[in-house]
Structure 1
Amino acid sequence: MPARESLLDAAGAALARRPWSRVRMVDVAAGAGFSRQTLYNEFGSKEGLARALLRRETDGYLRGVDRALAQEREPAERLAAVAAWTVGAARANALVRAALTGCWSERLPVPSRVAGSTSSVLAQRRADAGTPSSAELLGLVRDRAVAALGGRGRDPELALACESALRLALSYIVAPARDDDDPAELVRGAIGRWVAGR
């Protein structure tokens, strides 16, 4: 496994055990089996490590959205799959939950943006760009859903249906329902008629 991924794994593991403010770079490096200098060479600083970790988690969430949308199913079923993935990913990963809701606890690194990264490494430039805001992340998911469901040009009704499906899923994240409540079922019922026949 490349040093970068090992270091990000170690940072994630450290964050699971203690608040970000108490995560030490030397411990992350040791946990990954690399020198502290390697860690600094990869990320530049603890803030750079935080940006890269947050970016990796949001990119992983978006890959899951893409998988849900790529299924050979009816449009409402694909949106329901996105809703189920969103709720599951947010429940399993505090960074994804914070990125989706904009609610950052004191335990987590707070996202920051760096203007104009000069790194020659593509992965570092992406990490330096920071993570999208909650509104930007919602927009990315909505736009991916519209494209996957065959939306052409400006299709405001489809865009509204896709955004509404995601907002219904977000409601399950910020105000959890009973264990037997199913966000996918709610999306199917509420959104299905909007996207029928696509």
Structure 2
Amino acid sequence: MPAARETLLEAAGAALAARPWPAVRMVDVAAAAGVSRQTLYNEFGGKSGLGRALVRREGERYLEGVERALTVPGRTAERLAAVAEWTVRAARAYPLVRALLTGFWDPDLPAAGRAPGPGELARTVRDRAVAVLMPAADAERCELAVRLALSYVVAPGEEPGAGELLRLLSAQNRTAGAR
């Protein structure tokens, strides 16, 4: 039931946006999705299974956004700035993405289960960037873009614009080239 599964995940995401995970009730998620509670249990096994699936889906959506950012027209530094900008925006907008990127799991969120840790997720983003941008980019620049974005997630400040991120990434490239 792929359609029911996605509808249930959408309903669970909406419920989580409205209240903490411990207050999310399976009966409410099923009703919002327009399916029976038994269908929900058949699909996910229980609330913890639903939570793990929700965490996985948010991680996948974040990585899909990374892929989109890597395909924006422009130079390598512009694409890496787009990845960094997306990372900051996604972490601010989606608590599950923020938890995946930082490793901090608020008790109001579903448990991660076997979700990738922050280091693993950063390496995945770096590796995808290298794969898309090669030979124009090296792993060090891709890693820098991810870590720069994570610094804005962990220590929030004014959201950086693409121009600021591009300047920082371009400056690093000139410094590395001067060595």
TM score, norm. by length of structure 2: 0.89
Q: Which of 132, 135, 142 is 1:148 aligned to?
A: 132
Aligned counterparts, 1:6-21, within 5 A: 6-21=7-22
| TM-aligned CA distance change 1:136 to 1:151, over 3 Å | farther
- For the residues of structure 2 that align with 1:84 and 1:178, how far apart are their CA atoms? 12
Letter in 2 for 1:194: N
The answer on whether the counterparts of 1:158 and 1:194 sit within 8 Å (CA) in structure 2 is no
- Structure 2: segments with no counterpart, 5+ residues: none
Q: Output the amino acid matched with 1:14.
A: A
| Higher helix content, 1 or 2 | 2
- Partner residue of 1:168? 148
SS at match of 2:104: coil
How far does the alpha carbon of each residue in 1:39-98 deviate from its partner, in whole angstroms, 9 at most, with x for none? 011111111101110111110110110011112310000000001111111111111111
- Unmatched 5+ residue regions in structure 1? 114-130
Query: Which residue of structure 1 lines up, in the alignment, with residue 58 of structure 2?
Result: 57
The yes-or-no answer on 1:135 pairing with 2:119 is yes
- CA positional deviation for 1:151: 4.2
Distance 1:53 1:17 in 2: 15
**1:138-174 deviations in whole A, cap 9, x for unaligned?**
111000011111149xxxx821211111111111112
Q: Distance in 2 between matches of 1:22 and 1:189?
A: 44
Aligned partner of 1:168: which letter?
L
Aligned residues: 174
- Cα distance in 1 for residues equivalent to 2:129 and 2:156: 24
Secondary structure (helix, strand or coil) at the match of 1:2 reads helix
What TM-score comes out, normalization by structure 1 length?
0.81
CA RMSD of aligned residues (A): 2.2
Higher relative contact order (CA 8 A, sep 6+): 1
